[in-house]
């Protein structure tokens, strides 16, 4: 057992294979001048890092015939206020 009471032999191994994948970011935003010195902005960014498949092997000797696929992506909304001199 580990200090956190989790058996180190019970986790699922993601493997150590290295692959190359295509990743991309898409974004858009608007900026509004509130006063001569104060601006507000709103931005949206979508990031897609592709798909990940576990290796199908684990330390618990459980074999998966159809390992799950995980989509790795992020959606971010940014709100900003800026002061210009």
Q: What is the pTM of this model?
A: 0.60
pLDDT tens-digit series, residues 4-38: 676 766 666 556 667 677 899 999 999 999 999 99
pLDDT of amino acid 42: 98
The count of other CB atoms within 10 Å of the CB of residue 40 is 13
pLDDT of amino acid 70: 85
pLDDT tens-digit series, residues 45-75: 999 988 877 655 445 556 667 777 888 999 9
């Amino acid at each position: 057992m580990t200090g956190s009471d989790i058996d180190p032999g019970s986790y699922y191994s993601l493997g150590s294979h290295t692959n190359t994948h295509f990743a991309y970011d898409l974004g858009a935003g608007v900026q509004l001048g509130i006063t001569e010195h104060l601006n507000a902005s709103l931005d949206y960014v979508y990031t897609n890092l592709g798909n990940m498949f576990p290796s199908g092997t684990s330390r618990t000797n459980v074999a998966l015939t159809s390992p799950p696929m995980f989509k790795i992506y992020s959606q971010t909304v940014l709100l900003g206020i800026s002061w210009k001199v």
